[in-house]
A and B are shown apart, each in its own frame.
Chain A
Amino acid sequence: MSRLQMTVNGATVDIDVPESRYLSEVLREDLRLTGTKVGCAEAECGICTVLVDGTPVVSCVFPAFKAAGSAVETIEGLSQDGGLHALQQAFLDHGAVQCGICTPGLIMTAKGLLDRSKATGDAVTEQDVRAALKDSYCRCTGYQSVINAILQASGQDVRPYLPETQHPGIAVGRAMPNPNALAKITGSARFTDDYSFPGMLYARTRRAGIPHARIRSIDTEAARALEGVRAVLTHADIPGRNAHGVVSIDWPVLCGNKVRYVGDAVAIVAADSERIAAEAIELIDIDYEELPAVTDAISALQANAPQVHDERPDGNLLKHIKVKKGDIEGGFAEADVIVDQTYRTPTTEHLFLEPECSIGVPAGYDPADFGGMRDECAVRGETAKHDKTTIYVGSQIPYTDRDQAAATLNVNPEQVRVVATLMGGGFGGKEDIAGQIHAALLAEATDRPVKMLYSRQESLLVHPKRHATVIRMRTGATSDGRLTAVQATLYGDGGAYASLSEKVLTRATTHATGPYAIPNVKVDCFATYTNNVPCGAFRGFGVTQSCFAVESNMDILAGKLDIDAIELRRMNALEIGSETSTGQVMRESVGLRECIDKVEREIRDERFRWRWDEGHRRFAWGLAVGYKNTGLGGGAPDKATAEVEAWQDPDRGLVAEVRISSAEMGQGLPGVLAACAAEELGIERDKVRVLLGDTDFCPDGGPTTASRQSYVSGNAVRLAAREAAEKLSVQAPRESVKVQYEYWAPQTRPLGTGGDMHVAFSFCAQAALCEIDMRTGEVAVHKVIAAHDVGRALNPLTLEGQIEGGIVMGVGYALTEHYIQEEGTPWTNVMARYKTPSITHAPRIVSHIIEDGTSSGPFGAKGVGELPSIPTSPAITNAIYRATGVRVRSLPVDQDELLRAINSGAAEVELAWGDRDAIPTIQLGGEH
């Protein structure tokens, strides 16, 4: 311990801390200024940025004693005299705040820039912003709103970018900041790691570290003997079910006899400090019999492949998914032109900037027992007495977490409470159980609160990713451009456990025709188990993969037919009356043609050219369209229950609270739900408060997945509010009403049975303007023009955020992202090895909204969360083809390979960055 003196936000700090401390630790732990977040501890992501003597630094690797004598500024110090700083106000106005985990870092980095420009008197340019924020990552916004906000805060007249939408109601359709945005820009918003309970212990997990092995023995004696260790648990200590899973319960909570991937948990430790816990897990001695690993989807189905789950009758086949319609041979016989190509897509990582964190609190916990303050009125948080096992977590599925934890604890679900904290991004990656069960087990074992925080490196290793696929796609058309048949085979690498593989790859399969009316279809998809990191839900949910193949084939076809690429898509587009590949007849809300028209009008002005050269730089446009179902579909019961309580406030008039366990991960759900309720109650949106995700106080809104929340929970809230409004109209004005409404989405049909597989589809078209440097193979995306049919824009500001962020995620899928595994061991084991798009990669986005409403949606709305990231990558590779003549069949685009193809005159590239082998040859159809 040594004396550290500095000022923080103007106040003198004089404390004793160990000299090994980093500045972020002093701020967060010693000073409890939790507005500064930590995303990687590698100086990569920039979310921990603070100012030291006016200069932005990454506090996660900044030694605390380096700041001795300095003036430190954090997000908490930004608001002066209760007023917001210009940057805070601008971030709010522009919707530049989504999940909020990176917001403090973005704002503090920007403050450094603005302060400097004030000192020098130079105006801030967009280029300055891009340079200053190059290493300040954001995974939600796509950066356009961030750039605009910073320019506005610098004193320029930059208005929030808002697409034109329908005339708003009293609340619905109004562009408003998400209700939690204010807390996020001031640093008061609390994510799980920002909670700290009196008496709390810290947990770590001992992971397999090898992809496939049988466990001979586990010796925990040395770990238990370590001073400061409070519990060491293995499979033998689990009171209930030793397995979890969102779809199939096949994932051990703690492995007892076998490990199936490097991230498998074998033992967990709770200790007085993180350091002791980390030391303890290394002392656990595990004796393994290593087994051969299977690490790709195609090898997994060979007869001699190592079997990942010994007990499964179908070897490593997780599911063979089939779509069949019409007469496939007849369809191809009718075709004048056939395109038959094989594509490959990479495993990708969500890289939500908040690593997973769970806190377990034991039943009967009283903060007063540990010298903490108890607040008798508290229902949430550190000052409350906890009657039951409670898990604080930012999770996409609070009720399933509760049920899964209860099964393992061997108690009734009602004996467990899940309190959903704010979530620093999810994108599908926070659907599976991470540390929730472990934290609860350790809490009950030690009778203390236990925090289980993953490091970035652990997060990379453990949670399910986006499926790598190999897709062969054969598309036939007549000479006048009519699609006659599509046959495809997909192999999807599901990794070690089922997670959502079956659902994700079903969506890849059913959407493998693209949003086109095709009479003859046959698609086979083989979802497999391997010893890779499991794969599960990730924004786009399989459709991102098949869309790359579909839209690449469509461009090749347009070339062969000599038909304009836009026209070919328009003439085959789904419309009212046409039938999808699964036999669903479209009856309404098919805004695809309108999207295509809108994008075409925007790009095809009088100076329009598909491509042009400027010296060694080539420019070209590429186009792709996409679609995505709303809701679970496929016959799954899809429901949400909402509670709406409305009462007369003496000062504000009628006000309401909405309660529902649905997840806010930055997409803007509270604002959307508040608007739905307010519209029905006839009041302004800010008179409705939304309480999300507390299983003791909020009914179940179902999983936050499948672009379903605005639709399903939106409907539940709307209908609950409508009933409340009706009751209010007939009762005494002073009384409050409370209504619970259980909303069931229209019944859907399972795949293979025809009829309505989904309640609605959203559509989009995107055109990407790319530049290729013919000397280096470098690719830049300058502009994306997009049109999205979302049914109804419930909140245009947060909707635009979803669209811009989704498009930039699509840019990453095309150009930067690949989670690389080598024989089951991730090479991508640090954030420095996984690049998501930075502000320097973000294109200008021009976004149009089409509101072709669906009658069953709330105010006509359909899902939008996933749609924008789906067609971006083929739009980019189609532009690359147009610019260079090189067809990229594998993502992400490798500049080295692209240059080689350009120089050698090769027509295609099949090795992406990170690929070592050519795309395997696969048969169409087939059985395994």
Chain B
Amino acid sequence: MNYYTPATVDEALAVLHKYDGRARVVGGGTDLLVETRRGLRRPFDAVVDATRIGGLREITESGGYIVIGCGVTHSEIVNDPRIRARGTCLAESCGVIGGPQVRNVGTLAGNVAHALPAGDGTIGLLALGGDVQISGSDGTRWMPARDTFKGPGRSHIDRQRELLTRLRFRPTGDNEGSAFHRVMRPQGLCLPIISMAARIRLGDDGKIEGAGIGMGPVGPIPWFAEPVADALVGAPPVQEHFEHAVGVALENVQLRESKYRATREYREAMIRTWLPVILATATERAGASR
């Protein structure tokens, strides 16, 4: 196996081209390499480490967005004061991935590209309405993160030929706040029972003016919960409406029982319990940012 640490996007794409499907892009490699070692993935001939590409190792602000390069680790996101303040649910969601050592090398780009239905960082980014930038031989394009998911672990990004180079979101402004929560079990399964994130914007009348919700696992892909957001907009941010939003969420999700992780019923109970809590927290933060 060959290991490449390209310094430019073009170099990275050239390696992918050269290996024609037999190379894999990694950020930290903490999912892909471990799974490959366990025999859960087909072996490959080359690794393209996307964390040393010039210009893609930092968090910047540009054009009204916070932009995160594909080399940025979860820890760097968690510790970034801008994201903590104005993309709180993303910092919170990246802060629970794996353990500290894994967060020190794992990247948000890897989390989103991996396309797991309950990727925590992904859920946080969805609630913020984030986009991803994809670079391929025919150029670079931005698309909403929510449109990249195809199925569990399957992405519309052609990961053998393209590179997820950047992520971005519009930071929360005045009257806006966000929050994330995840339910786990202490036993041997390191996957979330449910992860949820919310972004709330309050209008001058105190009612919810805008909302973004991310949830998973509630179906084959991480869910950008538009119906839930729609149900919240225009309503006052009170428990009664939060419970209505829970009802809308439950009508739209396909909750499953997953072996040794959670029953369908438990997942539903956790949505009923925690969705109102994170909505209330996001609202409170929105109020505090006035």
Of A62-70, A470-478, A581-589, A619-627, the stretch lying at the interface with chain B is A62-70
A63-B29, A63-B33, A896-B263 known; A55+B104 contact, CB < 8 A: yes
Q: Would you call B185 and A66 a contact (CB within 8 A)?
A: no
Output the nearest chain B residue to A40 by Cβ-Cβ distance.
Answer: B34
Output the nearest chain B residue to A21 by Cβ-Cβ distance.
Answer: B3
Q: How far is the CB of B210 from chain A (nearest CB, A)?
A: 28
**Does A900 sit at the interface, judged by CB under 8 A?**
yes
Q: How far is the CB of A290 from chain B (nearest CB, A)?
A: 22
Q: How far is the CB of B278 from chain A (nearest CB, A)?
A: 13
Q: How far is the CB of A566 from chain B (nearest CB, A)?
A: 28
Report which of A46, A66, A109, A835 forms a contact with B5, defined as CB distance below 8 A: A66
**Per-residue contact bits, chain B 4-21, to A (CB 8 Å; 1 contact, 0 not):** 010000000000000000
A43-B30, A61-B29, A776-B270 known; A68+B187 contact, CB < 8 A: no
**Does A196 sit at the interface, judged by CB under 8 A?**
no
**Does B98 sit at the interface, judged by CB under 8 A?**
yes
Report which of A58, A134, A776 forms a contact with B183, defined as CB distance below 8 A: A776
A61-B30, A63-B47, A66-B49 known; A134+B188 contact, CB < 8 A: no
Q: How far is the CA of A42 from the CA of B34 in the complex (A)?
A: 6
Q: How far is the CA of A55 from the CA of B76 in the complex (A)?
A: 11
- Residues 793-851 of A contacting B (Cβ, < 8 Å): 815-818, 820, 827-828, 830, 832-835, 841
**Does B66 sit at the interface, judged by CB under 8 A?**
no
Q: How far is the CB of B78 from chain A (nearest CB, A)?
A: 11
Residues of A close to B100: CB separation below 8 A: 56, 109, 131-135
Q: How far is the CA of A58 from the CA of B98 in the complex (A)?
A: 12
Q: How far is the CA of A207 from the CA of B239 in the complex (A)?
A: 57
Output the nearest chain B residue to A65 by Cβ-Cβ distance.
Answer: B3
**Does A20 sit at the interface, judged by CB under 8 A?**
yes
Residues of A close to B29: CB separation below 8 A: 61-63, 66
- Residues 246-290 of B contacting A (Cβ, < 8 Å): 260, 262-263, 265-266, 269-270, 273
Q: How far is the CB of A920 from chain B (nearest CB, A)?
A: 21
Output the nearest chain A residue to B99 by Cβ-Cβ distance.
Answer: A135
Report which of B49, B99, B269 forms a contact with A899, defined as CB distance below 8 A: B269
Residues of B close to A913: CB separation below 8 A: 185, 187, 260
Residues of A close to B148: CB separation below 8 A: none
Q: Would you call A775 and B104 a contact (CB within 8 A)?
A: no
Residues of B close to A58: CB separation below 8 A: 30, 101-102
Output the nearest chain A residue to B37 by Cβ-Cβ distance.
Answer: A41
Q: Would you call A42 and B47 a contact (CB within 8 A)?
A: no
Chain B residues with a Cβ closer than 8 Å to the other chain, count: 37
- Residues 1-53 of A contacting B (Cβ, < 8 Å): 2, 18-20, 41-44, 46, 49
Q: Would you call A892 and B183 a contact (CB within 8 A)?
A: no
**Does A57 sit at the interface, judged by CB under 8 A?**
yes
Q: How far is the CA of A577 from the CA of B270 in the complex (A)?
A: 55
Q: Would you call A56 and B101 a contact (CB within 8 A)?
A: yes
Q: Would you call A19 and B2 a contact (CB within 8 A)?
A: yes
Report which of A41, A62, A896 forms a contact with B266, defined as CB distance below 8 A: A896
Q: How far is the CA of A896 from the CA of B49 in the complex (A)?
A: 40
- Main secondary structure, interface of A, reads loop
Q: How far is the CA of A914 from the CA of B260 in the complex (A)?
A: 6
Q: How far is the CA of A715 from the CA of B75 in the complex (A)?
A: 53
Q: How far is the CA of A20 from the CA of B266 in the complex (A)?
A: 42
Report which of B1, B105, B183 forms a contact with A62, defined as CB distance below 8 A: B105
Q: Would you call A61 and B104 a contact (CB within 8 A)?
A: no
Q: Would you call A835 and B37 a contact (CB within 8 A)?
A: no
Output the nearest chain B residue to A64 by Cβ-Cβ distance.
Answer: B3
Q: Would you call A818 and B187 a contact (CB within 8 A)?
A: yes
A135-B100, A830-B38 known; A816+B187 contact, CB < 8 A: yes
Q: How far is the CA of A18 from the CA of B46 in the complex (A)?
A: 12
Q: Would you call A134 and B104 a contact (CB within 8 A)?
A: no
Q: Would you call B187 and A900 a contact (CB within 8 A)?
A: no
Q: How far is the CA of A894 from the CA of B102 in the complex (A)?
A: 27
Q: Would you call A43 and B3 a contact (CB within 8 A)?
A: no
**Does B172 sit at the interface, judged by CB under 8 A?**
no
**Per-residue contact bits, chain B 109-149, to A (CB 8 Å; 1 contact, 0 not):** 00000000000000000000000000000000000000000
**Does A895 sit at the interface, judged by CB under 8 A?**
yes
A46-B101, A109-B100, A841-B186 known; A19+B33 contact, CB < 8 A: no
Report which of A18, A49, A457, A820 forms a contact with B101, defined as CB distance below 8 A: A49
Considering residues B101, B187, B190, which has the most beta carbons from chain A within 10 angstroms of its beta carbon?
Answer: B101
**Does B238 sit at the interface, judged by CB under 8 A?**
no
Residues of A close to B51: CB separation below 8 A: 66
Q: How far is the CB of B76 from chain A (nearest CB, A)?
A: 10
Residues of A close to B30: CB separation below 8 A: 43, 58, 61
Q: Would you call B38 and A42 a contact (CB within 8 A)?
A: yes
A46-B101, A56-B101 known; A835+B3 contact, CB < 8 A: no
Q: How far is the CB of B44 from chain A (nearest CB, A)?
A: 11
Q: How far is the CB of A917 from chain B (nearest CB, A)?
A: 14
Q: How far is the CA of A19 from the CA of B47 in the complex (A)?
A: 9
A42-B34, A776-B183 known; A63+B260 contact, CB < 8 A: no
Q: Would you call A19 and B1 a contact (CB within 8 A)?
A: yes
Q: Would you call A57 and B104 a contact (CB within 8 A)?
A: yes
Residues of B close to A457: CB separation below 8 A: 38
Q: How far is the CB of A417 from chain B (nearest CB, A)?
A: 36
A43-B30, A833-B188, A914-B187 known; A135+B101 contact, CB < 8 A: yes
Residues of A close to B26: CB separation below 8 A: 63
Q: How far is the CA of A55 from the CA of B79 in the complex (A)?
A: 13
Q: Would you call B33 and A892 a contact (CB within 8 A)?
A: no
Report which of B2, B47, B186, B269 forms a contact with A835, defined as CB distance below 8 A: B186
Q: How far is the CB of B77 from chain A (nearest CB, A)?
A: 14
Residues of B close to A914: CB separation below 8 A: 187, 260
Q: How far is the CA of A567 from the CA of B1 in the complex (A)?
A: 67
Q: Would you call B104 and A834 a contact (CB within 8 A)?
A: no
Q: How far is the CA of A133 from the CA of B99 in the complex (A)?
A: 8
**Per-residue contact bits, chain A 876-911, to B (CB 8 Å; 1 contact, 0 not):** 000000000000000010111001100100000000
Considering residues A43, A56, A775, which has the most beta carbons from chain B within 10 angstroms of its beta carbon?
Answer: A43
Q: How far is the CA of A894 from the CA of B263 in the complex (A)?
A: 11
Output the nearest chain A residue to B273 by Cβ-Cβ distance.
Answer: A775
Residues of B close to A816: CB separation below 8 A: 186-188
Q: Would you call A57 and B105 a contact (CB within 8 A)?
A: yes
A20-B1, A63-B49, A827-B260 known; A43+B102 contact, CB < 8 A: yes
- Residues 633-654 of A contacting B (Cβ, < 8 Å): none
Output the nearest chain B residue to A20 by Cβ-Cβ distance.
Answer: B1
Residues of A close to B266: CB separation below 8 A: 895-896, 899-900
Residues of A close to B49: CB separation below 8 A: 63, 65-66
Report which of A66, A134, A820, A895 forms a contact with B99, defined as CB distance below 8 A: A134
Q: Would you call A828 and B188 a contact (CB within 8 A)?
A: yes
Q: How far is the CB of B187 from chain A (nearest CB, A)?
A: 5
Output the nearest chain A residue to B265 by Cβ-Cβ distance.
Answer: A900
Q: Would you call B5 and A65 a contact (CB within 8 A)?
A: yes
Output the nearest chain B residue to A53 by Cβ-Cβ distance.
Answer: B104
- Residues 14-61 of B contacting A (Cβ, < 8 Å): 26, 29-30, 33-34, 37-38, 47, 49, 51
Residues of A close to B5: CB separation below 8 A: 65-66, 68
| Residue contacts A-B, CB under 8 angstroms, 29 given | A43-B34, A43-B98, A46-B101, A56-B104, A58-B101, A61-B30, A63-B3, A63-B26, A63-B29, A65-B5, A65-B49, A66-B29, A66-B51, A68-B5, A135-B98, A135-B101, A136-B99, A776-B270, A776-B273, A778-B186, A816-B186, A816-B188, A832-B188, A834-B188, A892-B187, A894-B185, A895-B185, A896-B266, A903-B269
Contacts A42-B34, A63-B47, A136-B99 known; 8 new A-B pairs at CB < 8 A:
A42-B38, A55-B75, A58-B101, A66-B5, A132-B100, A815-B187, A894-B185, A914-B260
The 9 A-B pairs with the shortest beta carbon distances in the complex, nearest first, are: A135-B99, A19-B3, A20-B1, A833-B188, A65-B3, A896-B266, A835-B188, A58-B101, A775-B273
What is A's interface to B at a CB cutoff of 8 Å? 2, 18-20, 41-44, 46, 49, 55-58, 61-63, 65-66, 68, 109, 131-136, 457, 775-776, 778, 815-818, 820, 827-828, 830, 832-835, 841, 892, 894-896, 899-900, 903, 913-914
